[in-house]
A = this chain, B = another copy of it.
């Protein structure tokens, strides 16, 4: 299947991809291969004259550097694995998008990895991803297998942990303070005069960041002297449907509830749409708050109050941090709080 043409060039001893190599370009331009290499990688270290001859030869032969060979000889394959818990959660997609756009401009490619919120899978995935000799790694969260953290710390190449903020990171960290964000929405609900407030989430035994927001929520209530500590949870992944079910369950179990604090906008939107369907008035009969700032929230009626997190920007910043290290610059700070913003809209 590989190479059906039995190799026209006589130079090839065996195998070989039969493509144009740096040697071909060197011959064409009448220089040594290393000069071609330099002309391509550090043009300023080659005289203008040779550079031009080489550029012409490259164009003429259609030379494309073999990054694998380059990666073996030097270091780094100009790839960055991005390891996230799930590819079916929009948040991660948007972060990945930001990362991809930024890295691609700089000539790096993104390698995708997903762990399904499983730290064992994360550990083995990262282990095998390192076999690709990537230039750096971006991964989700600050909690990992101990051997993963150790391995990456000793790895000697840039590592960025995203989505979460903390004092102890492997190398660099861009994220948001989940605890504070949870407290922020809870405080908003309290400010609105609600007391019987529940938190509702999915997959919280695996997604500990949602749990951190719940902790913030709970603490805000406690601090305000509101003795109400209600959590509704389901173990399936987040979806509109899960939000709808959570909503129904909450209404049924505790008809006295005044406000619902959802772990994310998908759930909140599912609830809001169900409320619309049933003719339940939001926020008069029950208030609904979310987290993330999905654009959908702005189009529902009433518009969804939420805490927006600049997800795309988080990706961009993570990538920039990565690039600054890769290009030898020391990043200003290895830790960046990307922030969040409370958006008060109609649903609360």
Identify the A interface with B (CB < 8 A): 1-5, 15, 17, 64-69, 71-72, 74-77, 79, 81, 87-88, 90, 93-94, 96-97, 100-101, 104, 107, 109-114, 127-133, 156-158, 239-241, 244, 269-270, 273-274, 276-277, 295-296, 298-301, 325, 328
Q: What's the minimum C-beta distance from A88 to chain B, rounded to whole angstroms?
A: 6
How many copies of the shown chain assemble into the complex?
2
Q: What's the minimum C-beta distance from A91 to chain B, rounded to whole angstroms?
A: 12
A sample of 25 inter-chain contacts (CB < 8 A) reads A1-B156, A1-B157, A2-B76, A15-B75, A17-B133, A68-B68, A68-B71, A79-B132, A81-B109, A87-B96, A87-B97, A87-B100, A88-B94, A90-B90, A93-B93, A100-B114, A101-B114, A109-B113, A109-B132, A110-B112, A241-B295, A241-B299, A244-B299, A273-B299, A296-B296
Which 4 A-B residue pairings sit nearest by Cβ, starting from the closest?
A: A67-B131, A87-B97, A273-B299, A110-B112
Asked, given contacts A67-B133, A111-B111, A132-B109, whether A301 binds B325 with beta carbons under 8 Å apart, the answer is no
The CA-CA distance from A239 to B294 in the complex, in Å, is: 12
Whether the Cβ atoms of B296 and A276 lie closer than 8 Å is no
Whether the Cβ atoms of A276 and B301 lie closer than 8 Å is yes
Whether the Cβ atoms of A132 and B77 lie closer than 8 Å is yes
Whether the Cβ atoms of A69 and B72 lie closer than 8 Å is yes
Chain B residues positioned under 8 Å from A133 (CB to CB): 17, 66-68
Whether the Cβ atoms of A96 and B112 lie closer than 8 Å is yes
Whether the Cβ atoms of A295 and B1 lie closer than 8 Å is no
Pick the contact of A75: B2, B75, B276 (CB < 8 A). B2
